[in-house]
Chains A and B, each alone.
Chain A
């Protein structure tokens, strides 16, 4: 029993979550054959652990859904365990809930099987699995276990004493002085041994806890530097999930590398630079990989200031990560924005309407109802011309109607969200058995001027929402502010 861990109030050491920062829940909206589904996965704090899964069918007629965790790639993707049937809500026949047992760290998916009026279908939801916390013991339980532990230790010593003192006496014979002396000696020696065992057990517990701590997720480290107008990014491994012994090499299922990155919707890195502390300037850029762990980018003209950098990458097995760094930039007058690069600036929208520098307007279609932490909802935005009409030249931005970054003003949360949700597109492609880098075909259909992002704020703080939509060759960036209230339930 770890005496130093008992009686401590519940305390969580949380760490930055991978694939976004401080925003571990997964949201995915999409088509499973004929059924439109919205899936929420809440990963566990510890691995192995149990994730919660919720599925809402926006198409009627879904009779049953089952879910099974499956590795996205590699040997673990070959055989599936027995799937679990999700439980249908008694109030809503199109709402299903269940549990996913996540047993190892790595790149996983929840594989859903749907059955309904329009036949069977399947749906893949990428679920990165990492241990995010170590939990300490609650005071009440600690006190109970400590008390029982004291009783067991003293009981054992008393048993040793009684065994030495009386066990060999004939029935009815009272212990003599010699017996009593032997008993006392046994209590002394037994006490030393038992206390030694307890101390040894405590050391073992500490060693197990330390071993667990090494499995708690640590994002790749990123250091930013400026060379003239060139931004350099160096990525290093902080020592998470590395196999350092023969046994670990043989038994560790998942190890992280820095030379296995794959492109995610066209780019190997998506870099957001957000000026601090006002969050009033944002750049969405795409540095190129020069070598394993080395990225570089000729910066476009930038506004001077202190910037936080959030860099999204995806590993070859679909495991996504967001690395962070900070840098002070001078005012740079260099190249103009090009390709998929984008920038935006200004104070958050007033009355939910953000007026862009070219007179276009971006509106958050929100009824101003309070927003609570943990409440999944659709964040809808509309881009209009200065006269309020829809732009006639709407186009896809990196293959999607838009991109959004949900950023806590205190820096605790960063989430790069797409219209279909929070998952990495590369992971989604891999989970669906396709190459990681989806082919960004421009659609021949008219692109709507409204985009929707499914998301739930993870914590009750102030946020900025940076929304990017494209018309013609112009990527527009709207900035919105919101205060998230504490969770209503959970």
Chain B
């Protein structure tokens, strides 16, 4: 466990003060940019990989999509490995005084979190390989080794955010636009990544059943509330949701431009180009309303904010997504923009998606109870997001 030195550094106080001063006036450091590129690469790689599996099917470790994901680990390893080693062992590190101590090393907290993520990502590779040997080549996103990989990716994102928050909080640049934009960008990336976990459960066939809305209440609110509370930007949630919306629409517009053919059977649907994911959920609508709400809640206690936010989030999302899902299931949405004609090559012909049929909604009582559950879940995640955002707003290391 961590070893706490009697003094924060073994450097003379004058040197420490000088380094703190240097840091407070510094621009966004190189390792944060490096980490930002890393998480961007992993996010693009993850969606590319999913599209690869939907269009080509067969892969190796060396596909471009996998390389983009692994680049995250490499860049994070270089950036944070260097940061930890340099801060721990260099006598001139400007971050020595702004470090936490873990296992005898010292570095900013975010570096440790992101390094943990990199190690988790690396560990997932042999684990996933063994998983394929034992239980067959997996054809789904949510499996134990994939979860380890995803947790690793999230840790790199969170580590980057923590690093940036620490940088902002200990400097005089808290209100600087570039830092705030970068925080919103990282939160956007986080939401885009979080929605990977919900891709299967929020497929359009599930949008007339409660499960999709429980999922939508379980993860995105955390990111949106955190963004708002950390940046205090009036339209933080809207920006983050807009980023997700544009990213996913961009995939629908871009991926089908590139040729791809299945290399695995069974092939139930002819595929000639890369298959994009579903049209994004209309998170932007409740996100915008939340921004309007949050501008008026300065005097509210956090549980009240979380509860009202959750009610708005789930009810507005159902109100807009329900009819929109009906549209997505209609032939009118089978075009280049909404992209509902793109089907995974091995999608079974009897599946709900291939038949353009909604998964059963359940009885009104079952649905209502499940939606109440979604609101409860959303309350907890909004509350947690608020507290994490506030915590990030205070960290200095």
Residues of A within 8 A of B (CB): 1, 46-50, 68-71, 75-76, 78-82, 84, 101, 103-104, 108, 131, 134-137, 141, 144-145, 148-149, 151-152, 155-156, 158-159, 161-163, 165-175, 180, 183, 187, 201, 204-205, 208-209, 212, 246, 249-253
Alpha-carbon separation in the docked complex, A48 to B265 (Å): 11
- The answer to whether A131 and B396 touch across the interface, beta carbons within 8 angstroms, is no
Residue among A68, A134, A170, A171 facing the most chain B CB atoms (10 A cut-off): A171
Given contacts A145-B127, A208-B144, contact A172 B8 (CB under 8 A): yes
- The answer to whether A171 and B109 touch across the interface, beta carbons within 8 angstroms, is no
Across the interface, which residues of A come within 8 angstroms of B5, CB to CB? 174
Across the interface, which residues of A come within 8 angstroms of B99, CB to CB? 166
Contact of B331 with A by CB under 8 A: no
Contact of B175 with A by CB under 8 A: no
* Total inter-chain residue pairs, C-beta < 8 Å: 191
- Interface residue tally for chain B (C-beta within 8 Å): 70
- The answer to whether B119 and A47 touch across the interface, beta carbons within 8 angstroms, is no
- The answer to whether A137 and B134 touch across the interface, beta carbons within 8 angstroms, is yes
Alpha-carbon separation in the docked complex, A101 to B102 (Å): 46
- The answer to whether A204 and B144 touch across the interface, beta carbons within 8 angstroms, is yes
Alpha-carbon separation in the docked complex, A51 to B170 (Å): 59
- The answer to whether B58 and A101 touch across the interface, beta carbons within 8 angstroms, is yes
Give the contacts of B127-144 with A (CB-CB under 8 A): 127, 130, 132-139, 143-144
Across the interface, which residues of B come within 8 angstroms of A79, CB to CB? 262, 267-270
The 26 listed contacts between A and B (C-beta, < 8 Å) are A1-B127, A70-B265, A71-B266, A76-B266, A81-B261, A81-B264, A82-B261, A82-B263, A101-B57, A134-B134, A137-B134, A145-B123, A145-B127, A152-B123, A155-B116, A163-B109, A167-B100, A167-B162, A167-B391, A172-B9, A174-B8, A208-B144, A250-B348, A250-B351, A252-B348, A253-B266
Contact of B304 with A by CB under 8 A: no
With CB as the reference atom, state the residue of chain A lying closest to B392.
Answer: A167
Alpha-carbon separation in the docked complex, A82 to B262 (Å): 6
- The answer to whether B98 and A81 touch across the interface, beta carbons within 8 angstroms, is no
With CB as the reference atom, state the residue of chain B lying closest to A161.
Answer: B2
- The answer to whether A250 and B352 touch across the interface, beta carbons within 8 angstroms, is yes
Alpha-carbon separation in the docked complex, A249 to B349 (Å): 11
Across the interface, which residues of B come within 8 angstroms of A175, CB to CB? 4
With CB as the reference atom, state the residue of chain B lying closest to A133.
Answer: B134
- The answer to whether B116 and A156 touch across the interface, beta carbons within 8 angstroms, is yes
Alpha-carbon separation in the docked complex, A108 to B267 (Å): 13
Report the minimum CB–CB distance from A14 to chain B (whole Å): 14
Given contacts A76-B265, A171-B396, contact A162 B2 (CB under 8 A): yes
Alpha-carbon separation in the docked complex, A70 to B346 (Å): 12
Across the interface, which residues of B come within 8 angstroms of A103, CB to CB? 57, 137, 139, 264-266, 346
Contact of B1 with A by CB under 8 A: yes
Residues of B within 8 A of A (CB): 1-2, 4-9, 13, 16-17, 20, 23, 57-58, 97-103, 109, 112-113, 116, 119-120, 123, 126-127, 130, 132-139, 143-144, 147, 162, 166, 170, 261-270, 345-346, 348-352, 359-360, 391, 394-397
Residue among A79, A135, A145 facing the most chain B CB atoms (10 A cut-off): A79
Alpha-carbon separation in the docked complex, A159 to B119 (Å): 14
- The answer to whether B6 and A174 touch across the interface, beta carbons within 8 angstroms, is yes
- The answer to whether A81 and B263 touch across the interface, beta carbons within 8 angstroms, is yes
Q: Other than A48-B139, A101-B137, A108-B265, give 17 A-B pairs with Cβ distance below 8 A.
A: A1-B127, A71-B265, A75-B268, A76-B267, A79-B267, A81-B267, A134-B134, A144-B126, A162-B109, A166-B99, A166-B101, A166-B109, A170-B170, A171-B170, A171-B397, A174-B8, A180-B4
Alpha-carbon separation in the docked complex, A252 to B147 (Å): 24
Residue among A155, A161, A201, A212 facing the most chain B CB atoms (10 A cut-off): A155
Across the interface, which residues of B come within 8 angstroms of A167, CB to CB? 100, 109, 162, 166, 391, 395-397
Given contacts A158-B2, A158-B102, contact A68 B265 (CB under 8 A): yes
The listed residue (B134, B360, B396) touching A136 by CB distance below 8 A is B134
The listed residue (A131, A162, A163) touching B136 by CB distance below 8 A is A131
Across the interface, which residues of A come within 8 angstroms of B394, CB to CB? 168
Report the minimum CB–CB distance from B348 to chain A (whole Å): 5
Across the interface, which residues of B come within 8 angstroms of A84, CB to CB? 263
Report the minimum CB–CB distance from A103 to chain B (whole Å): 5
- The answer to whether A172 and B20 touch across the interface, beta carbons within 8 angstroms, is yes
The listed residue (B2, B349, B396) touching A165 by CB distance below 8 A is B2
The listed residue (B97, B113, B144) touching A171 by CB distance below 8 A is B97
Alpha-carbon separation in the docked complex, A204 to B263 (Å): 30
Across the interface, which residues of B come within 8 angstroms of A141, CB to CB? 126, 130
Across the interface, which residues of B come within 8 angstroms of A252, CB to CB? 348
Across the interface, which residues of B come within 8 angstroms of A172, CB to CB? 8-9, 13, 16-17, 20, 97-98
Dominant SS among interface residues on chain B: loop
Report the minimum CB–CB distance from A181 to chain B (whole Å): 12
With CB as the reference atom, state the residue of chain B lying closest to A175.
Answer: B4
With CB as the reference atom, state the residue of chain A lying closest to B127.
Answer: A145
- The answer to whether B103 and A171 touch across the interface, beta carbons within 8 angstroms, is no
Given contacts A155-B103, A162-B101, A167-B397, contact A48 B267 (CB under 8 A): no
Across the interface, which residues of B come within 8 angstroms of A134, CB to CB? 134-135
- The answer to whether B350 and A81 touch across the interface, beta carbons within 8 angstroms, is no
With CB as the reference atom, state the residue of chain B lying closest to A81.
Answer: B262
Alpha-carbon separation in the docked complex, A209 to B136 (Å): 11
Given contacts A76-B268, A103-B266, A162-B2, contact A152 B109 (CB under 8 A): no
Alpha-carbon separation in the docked complex, A50 to B262 (Å): 16
Alpha-carbon separation in the docked complex, A208 to B128 (Å): 14
Alpha-carbon separation in the docked complex, A249 to B268 (Å): 17
Alpha-carbon separation in the docked complex, A152 to B98 (Å): 24
Alpha-carbon separation in the docked complex, A101 to B58 (Å): 8
With CB as the reference atom, state the residue of chain A lying closest to B270.
Answer: A79
Residue among A76, A165, A172 facing the most chain B CB atoms (10 A cut-off): A172
Alpha-carbon separation in the docked complex, A173 to B140 (Å): 48
With CB as the reference atom, state the residue of chain B lying closest to A205.
Answer: B144
- The answer to whether A135 and B139 touch across the interface, beta carbons within 8 angstroms, is no
- The answer to whether A161 and B397 touch across the interface, beta carbons within 8 angstroms, is no
Across the interface, which residues of A come within 8 angstroms of B20, CB to CB? 171-172
Report the minimum CB–CB distance from B203 to chain A (whole Å): 12
Given contacts A81-B267, A155-B116, A174-B7, contact A75 B16 (CB under 8 A): no
Given contacts A137-B130, A158-B1, A166-B100, contact A151 B119 (CB under 8 A): yes
Alpha-carbon separation in the docked complex, A187 to B4 (Å): 14
Given contacts A81-B261, A167-B397, A171-B396, contact A155 B134 (CB under 8 A): no
Alpha-carbon separation in the docked complex, A212 to B143 (Å): 12
- The answer to whether A162 and B16 touch across the interface, beta carbons within 8 angstroms, is no
Report the minimum CB–CB distance from B110 to chain A (whole Å): 9
- The answer to whether B137 and A48 touch across the interface, beta carbons within 8 angstroms, is yes
The listed residue (A108, A149, A212, A249) touching B123 by CB distance below 8 A is A149
- The answer to whether B265 and A152 touch across the interface, beta carbons within 8 angstroms, is no
Across the interface, which residues of A come within 8 angstroms of B170, CB to CB? 170-171
- The answer to whether B395 and A212 touch across the interface, beta carbons within 8 angstroms, is no
The listed residue (B139, B143, B263, B345) touching A208 by CB distance below 8 A is B143
- The answer to whether A163 and B100 touch across the interface, beta carbons within 8 angstroms, is yes
With CB as the reference atom, state the residue of chain B lying closest to A152.
Answer: B120
Given contacts A71-B266, A144-B126, A172-B16, contact A208 B135 (CB under 8 A): yes
Residue among B100, B120, B170, B395 facing the most chain A CB atoms (10 A cut-off): B100
Given contacts A137-B134, A141-B130, A167-B109, contact A162 B123 (CB under 8 A): no
- The answer to whether B116 and A81 touch across the interface, beta carbons within 8 angstroms, is no
- The answer to whether A251 and B351 touch across the interface, beta carbons within 8 angstroms, is yes
Across the interface, which residues of A come within 8 angstroms of B132, CB to CB? 46
- The answer to whether A187 and B1 touch across the interface, beta carbons within 8 angstroms, is yes
10 pairs of A and B residues whose beta carbons are closest in the complex: A76-B266, A79-B267, A162-B100, A48-B137, A46-B136, A172-B97, A48-B136, A167-B395, A166-B100, A81-B262
